[in-house]
Structure 1
Amino acid sequence: TRTLASLFGPLQPMALAEDLAAPLLALPIPDGAADAAATAHAPAAGPSVPDRFTVARGLAVVPVRGILTPNMTQYERWFGWATYHGLAETLAHLAASEDAAAIVLEIDSPGGLVCGIEAAAEAIAAVGAVKPVHALVSPLAASAAYWLASQASEIVMTPGSVAGSIGVALTAAAHVQPGANGAQIFEMSSRHARAKRPDASTEAGRAELQRSLDEAEAAFHAAVSAGRAIPAAELAARLSVTDDPQDGGATFRASEAIRRGLADRTETRAAFYARLTARTAPKPRSPSRAFAARAAAAQAVARS
């Protein structure tokens, strides 16, 4: 049985807490989805894309679940997982919606691909300039999911939740001997495209892979620094679990995440939503205002 892990190839920079993602990666590919899942724009098959948000009492709720990808709509159809493209579209819509006074990103994700995440992160920051965006970690915002959460106006963690895993990684492999069938595999690229297939068994290849990872991490750190108002020069030390700033990448429970400046408060889901809807729910009109509104409407009808 093919699992979802088989759809993620090597050499893809991932902002993913792999231990927390393991149960999701082990899920079998649903029957009939294997071929379509390989293509982001595959024809619709099976379930339709679920609603990307709901709005009630002035509060829009956007689920951010599963392993995050740029635009793998099949994951949306079969598992309800968010995509960066879908998030950006949703946030652009909600930014202009008069029905939504505030937005909640309800997050339960171990992270995902680096490719495409910056557009979604920038969309969160942009809508945050128009109306409040609240990230609710319930119960997981790791790596790419935390990258997104860091752009919200506030980060709230439910009791027992986990956040962090700030960093980027990839898996690389190199051929060390001929295959079992006796065939030696050679991987080649054009003369001026050696970096297309860096050889992890060589120093030059590892240097290129490290350059790619460090470039992605720099963008990740810059986003967290800006979103959480943490000086860039201090961020690596805040994320480290030792005195060595290179020992980052860990996840933290709520109290420790708050202490390190990665979250703002801990709150139950019920208390969180009660607090926000108290601000966003339309206020009931007084009897006199309601009467005046009905009278004005009646006059308008009479004139028409």
Structure 2
Amino acid sequence: MNKRTIAALLGASPLALSALHASQYLSTELPEEVASAPLDAAMVGRGERFAISRGVAVVPIKGLLTPNFFALEKYLGWSTYHGIEETLGELSANEEVGAIILEVDSPGGLVIGLESASEAIAKAAAIKPVHVLVNPLAASAAYWLASQATEIAMTPGSLVGSIGTMVDSNSHVTTDMSGDQWFQMASSHARAKNPDPATDEGKAEIQRRLDEGEARFHEAVSKGRGIALADLPSRLSVSEDVADGGSTFQSLSAIERGLADSNEVRADFYQRVFSQYAMKPRKGTRAFSARASAAQALAHT
């Protein structure tokens, strides 16, 4: 019996992820509770999406990012685009929240649904400060999200980048194990519904989709980071050829390229942000320090 993995779940969907860093996520076997349930169904009792301490909200963005696979959020603790969008909308409207921290540890995820979550972060950052801590990875879709924040801090040794889109596709060339030959057919005016990468026409259509996604990705990063769109490809390339983009960068290189703002250990980051925005604790109350510790712990679970 074949194991049902995350990779099998995603199929041939367009992805914005770092394949190098996502392999452990893609090979994850779905928990039995997830494999036997519809993944787009709302799950009651899923984990908390954020914590608030002294007016600062902490939001973890973790795992392989999907639009609305709430079962993965509940059982694996992975973030969803719908969840991020809802959370940022709620925190933006909360007058008791003066600043938002997004602690990111993700190789990226699906393209579909990504832009709505990205726009939610940008809208929140226009209302109140949104600080990102990359600890230790914000690749592809996760960096798309991070780029919309007020600032990006990276812990030493962490990585950002992998800016671009990709897809895994296949073409039937042999019979399956039962001896049956599989065919896929589309209606007369829907040839682009499932392009065949083994044909020039199919390859061109897949490339068109990927380049369209990359263009939107570049536009978002350009706007979020204040980098001229025309300059971005050369900043992302590892050579003089702008086609050699898509790599990841450690903190000092990322800062030099304009992809991040600072390099600091996690404790220093939290101390800096909380000292700037946190409300003063009430005299004689220990609850505030406990809640601050809980907020940081949430991002680390």
TM-score, normalised on structure 1? 0.89
* Corresponding residue of 2:7: 5
Aligned counterpart in structure 1 of residue 245 of structure 2, from 231, 245, 248: 248
Superimposed CA distance per residue, residues 75-95 of structure 1 (whole angstroms, 9 cap, x where no aligned partner): 111011110000010001100
Residue in structure 2 matching 1:144, options 141, 145, 148: 141
171, 194, 197: which one aligns with 1:197: 194
Residue identity matched to 2:41: H
Q: Does 1:171 align with 2:173?
A: no
> Which structure is higher in RCO with an 8 Å CA cutoff and minimum separation 6?
2
Tell me if the contact between 2:69 and 2:80 (Cα under 8 Å) persists in the aligned partners: yes
Alignment check: 8 A CA contact 1:175 1:185 kept: yes
User: Does structure 1 retain, via aligned residues, the 8 Å contact 2:59–2:102?
Assistant: yes
Partner of 1:122: 119
CA distance in 2, matches of 1:175, 1:83: 32
Q: Which structure 1 residue ranges, 5 or more long, are not aligned? A: 287-304
CA distance in 1 between counterparts of 2:29 and 2:176 reads: 28
Q: Which amino acid aligns with 2:134?
A: V
Unaligned runs of 5+ in 2: 284-301
Moved over 6 A (4+): none
Which shows bigger deviation, 239-248 or 14-23? Answer: 14-23
What residue in structure 1 maps to residue 109 of structure 2?
112
Name the SS for the 1:29 alignment partner. Answer: coil
Shift of 1:60: 0.3
Larger Cα-atom Rg: 1
Match of 1:268 in 2: 265
The 5 A counterparts of 1:67-86 are 67-86=64-83
2:39 aligned partner, one-letter code: T
For residue 285 of structure 1, report the CA deviation from its aligned partner.
8.3
Aligned residue identity for 1:106:
E
Q: How many residues get paired? A: 281
Post-superposition Cα deviations, 1:19-45, rounded to whole Å, max 9, x if no partner, equal: 211112222211232021x4311555x
The C-alpha deviation readout for 1:251-300, integer Å capped at 9, x for no partner, is 000000001000000011111111111122224689xxxxxxxxxxxxxx
**Percentage of identical aligned residues:** 54
Residue 210 of structure 1: aligned partner? 207
For residue 224 of structure 1, what is the amino acid of its counterpart?
V
Alignment of 1:288-299 (within 5 A): none
Residue 247 of structure 1, CA deviation: 0.5
Match of 2:30 in 1: 29
Query: 1:155 corresponds to which residue?
Result: 152
CA–CA distance in structure 2, aligned partners of residues 233 and 249 of structure 1: 16
Deviation at 1:51, TM superposition (A): 0.5
Secondary structure of 1:273's counterpart equals helix
Query: Secondary structure in 2 aligned to 1:178?
Result: coil
Residue identity matched to 2:16: A
Question: Any idea what the Cα deviations from partners look like across 1:143-165, whole Å, max 9, x if unmatched?
Answer: 00000000000000011111100
- 8 Å Cα contact 2:43-2:74 kept in structure 1: no
Equivalent residues of 1:55, 1:99 under 8 A apart: no
Deviation at 1:172, TM superposition (A): 1.0
> Contact 2:64–2:108 (CA<8 Å) still a contact in 1?
yes
- TM-score normalised to structure 2 length: 0.90
Q: Helix, strand or coil for the counterpart of 2:47?
A: coil
